[in-house]
Each structure stands twice: as structure tokens, then as C-alpha cells.
Structure 1
Amino acid sequence: MLNLRLSLTDALCARAEPGNREYAMRDTRLPGLALRVQPCGSRSWVIRARIDGKAVRRSLGSFPETGVKAARATARAVLAGETLTPATPLTVPHFATFQIEHEQRCGVFYKSQGLRTYRAYIRCELLPAFGHQRLDAISRQDVIRWFEGYSLRRPGGANRALGILAQMLGRAKAWGYMPDGWRNPARGIRMNRRKVVGTFLSDDEMARLGSVLDKRIRTGCTASALLRFLTLTGCRVSEAIHLEWADLLPDRLRLRDSKTGPRDVPLGSPVRRFLQSHRANIRRNGGCASGHVFPLAGRQHYEGVRSIWFIVRREAGLPLKLRIHDLRHSFASHAVMSGETLFTTSRLLGHSRVQMTARYAHLADDVLAATCEKLGALLIAQTR
């Protein structure tokens, strides 16, 4: 953010033109006082200082309603530890205005896909519902009424939008916009129960899938090799599509960009042998000199894998509802059924929380039956 250091006057503040990004005009006569100029044209006063070792940031009103002299007087009162009187209340922005600042300051922390999703929820749901309201006027009843209405249409989308709203209002509090004693109305609302989507392949289904994939790989089908790679590693399809040979280390893959950020994927000897065989197969079939591990026809795009998946799924006699992402579910489920802990499986999948892995870790009936037999024998032995 651009920062200008000036001896502020009402005339200078009145001539402040909005730019493409927010910038601040800092007062040299009273350090810590600044006029923030938003791209939408709004201008507001803010004071930043450290009082008793704590960082303090307070909004002091908007310009021109609050002039330079009044802003300095209010800022001095804050620095002296005095309580602001009702004559100098905080100016709380409307949701639509605050959203612009929130995106400018927090948008850099989103990945490109996440930023597009964030903007879609803002544009389609949050702005129509709350854009006309001041932030401190948004009540818990307003949020619940909106959330319940949206939940009737899209329960999962309502959960995501509620999380964005709660985070935005929390930022407004942290940035000094909200009055003392204000409580976030979006916190503590029970979200909709998430429907577990997805299944996993049985041993027989995995065998049929492997047979079809091996047959197609021998013909030089790169997309089939990518699908085989997913069954062996549990990687996301987007991670495999954009994987390059430069990311392949002797004992691991270094994913520079995944859903949860950069991460390493450990490679066992079966996966390493498969990748070596795949590389030799590309050279033998006169493949292109692309740096991608799985160079797809045309361009590196999900549709290039999806079309092959439909063919493979049909040839292997797999359920029509089975998705490519269910290969990742199967990896997690078979890892747990083989005795691996949820924590270990979570690390392999690159999940940020173990709870995410628990949703994917399905258990086959024969595994549950074997567990019942083992527990039954143990309990009988203990009661004799």
C-alpha cells in the first residue's frame, strides 16, 4: 500500500484522488494518524499506536465529516488512553464498502481458484444479502434468516458462504471498525451436515481397473498412466496433471502447488519403478519433449483425463457414479484398512486436518467382520 507523509490539511485531504489500490496519507504533525483513501473514493481516519505495549488501531471517522483538526484531537485522546465521547463516534462502513478493502488486503492469501470462488460467493450471495447494511447493524437474526434460506437451495454453499462472512466480520473487528462489546453474529451458527460423497473400490474392482489401465498404458495412453499414478499415490488429479519431471526427487515428489500449498509426497519403490517404466514408455513411443510427467493430448487440462476415465470405467465394469476423485478415497480407505493410522494417512494425502481424512476412510464389510471376530474372542477370553 502506498504511504504518503504530509502535514495534512483539509484542502490536501479534499484533493486526495482515489487510485487503483488503497493508500494512506500519514500526518507528520501527529505520528500514527493517517487518512485512508479507498479505490471507491471513501476516505476515513485511522490512528495506530502502541499503548502499554499493546498495538492499538482505531477508526476515527470519515472525511470530510471529520476534519483534520477534529481527527487530531480525537487521536490525541486515544493516545492518552481517554474514552471517546459520543460526539466522536466510530464510523462503521457498509458491507459493500468494506468488502472492497477486505479483498484488497486478504485476496493475496487466496490461490487463484480460491479467489474466484470467494468472489462468486460475495457477488451472488453476500452482497445481495448484506451489501446495504452497516457492518455493526448486521444482526444474528439477519444472518440466520439468510443462512436458512440459502441452505434450502445449496446446503454446502451456505456453509462456505457463512464461513466467508464470519471471517470478514472478524477482520472488521481486528481492523478497528467495530465498537467495543460487539460480537460476531456469524459465529456459533450450526452449519449444515455435510453429505459424505464418494466411495471406494473393492479389491476385485481395483484388480479390474488395474488390468484395463495396464492394457491401455502399453498402447501409449498417457491419461491411463496418470490414472494408475493416482491409484498408487492418492494425489489429486490436478496435482498429477501439472506434475513435471523436475519435481521428481529420488525418494519423493515435490509438489510446488497443491490445494493446501506446497508439499512433498513420499515415493515407495513400486511408485518409483512405475515412473521409470512410464518415462521409458514415453521415449519408446516417441513422446514429445514436454517437461510434464503426463503430457496430455492438446493441453494439460482435466477434460483430457475425464474423457479417458469414462472409457476406462466402462471397460472395467465399474459403477457409473464412480468419479476420478474416488481413486483418492480408495487410497485413503485401503491405507486405513491395512492398519495405517488416520494421522499417517492424512500426511500422505496432504490434508491440513485429520478430520478430512476420516471422511474418506471407508471400511469394507469384511474388515468390520474380522474386527468383530477379534474383539469377540478377546472379550470371551477376558471373562473366563
Structure 2
Amino acid sequence: MSSALTKRVVLTSEPRDRPYELRDAQVRGLILRVQPSGHKAWIVTWAHGKRRTLGSVEHLTLDQARDQARQAVAEYVQSGLPTLAKSMPTSCTLETLLNEHFEPWAIAELKGGRQYPDRIRSVFPWLLRRQIIEIDAPTMERWWRGRVTGPDAVTKANAARDFACLRSALSRAVRKLSRQADISKVELLTWAVRYSTGLMPRSESCGRS
């Protein structure tokens, strides 16, 4: 059921035990999603099962979200695919991935989401200008050895959390790039390091130590 969203509705929508969504009756495809944590994000949908996160209510006003939703739906009607749904180019650097894809999603969808891209920038500054298709298993194995045995070594648990943050960002790249023809370019981006080296715990998740 849809109802016209207002600034008051956005502000006063209370979290529940499960995530829930409020659809805007004024602009087709615009949804307000409320997480149990209280985090609220704007989502646009343009076809069955097709949706993207626009951003959190902290960064997008209701009017701004409506404008972006209108544009996405209009592009879908005109060309069959909104610009925001198009795959990123394979020449994308890690820095571009963080700035344009991962950080907006993390802030909108994850509790304390800003910490994850910030941690990646802090731990992996040497990777920021590298093409994401060049971040492979050997690269990460060398990083892991230096991270846990070098002069500024940290515990394996902390290193695993560092890697979990990077893996989360690269996983989003895999989902986008896998729609393109050459899947071999991205097959090592995330899981190869995790399962081939046996060094990183499978249960670790990204978070502050």
C-alpha cells in the first residue's frame, strides 16, 4: 500500500523488529526503507525485482530522492535501463569504486556504514589507484604476510577484519562486472584469497577492532 510520504513521516517512522518499506504514492518507484537499527534509506524500483539504493535520509532529502527516482524511472521508460543500474567499466579503480559505488551503498544500508570505506582507505592506500581487476590473490597474499608478520604487525583477527572490509567492496564490483562478457577478469577479486590461503577466518566480518 502506498501513501504520500512527507518530511514528518520520514522523520517519525520508527524501527521495528524487521526491516520494512513505505512506498511513496506521489512518485512512482520511490521507497523509504527503515532498518531495525533505525537507519533509513531511499530506494528506487523500476521493474519487478529491479531496485537500487539512492542514499540515506541523512544525505538525501525527500525532494531530492523524488527527483532521483523520477529520473531513474524516466530513463527506464526511455531506454530500458536507468543510468544508476549500468555496470561499472572494467577500468574502475578501487578509489572510484569506493567513492561512487561502495560508500553510498554502505552508508545507506549498513549501521555505521561510513567506517567501512574509511577503513579501506586507511589500511589499503597503496591500492586506491589500482584497477580493481588487478587486485588478485597473489597481491592479497603478499599484503596478508606483511600485515601479520611485518614490523607493524597486527593480530590475524584485526587483519581479517581489514580484509573483510575490502572483500565487501570488491564483492559489489564482482556483482556488477560479472554481467559483462569476460568473467575471468573478476573471478579472483574476492574469494580466491579467502579460500586458497587458509589464513583468513571465514567467519570474520568488517568492523572496528
TM-score bin, normalised by smaller chain: 0.3 to 0.5
Larger Rg: 1
TM-score in terms of structure 1 length: 0.29
Select the structure with the greater relative contact order (CA < 8 A; seq sep ≥ 6).
2
TM-score in terms of structure 2 length: 0.48
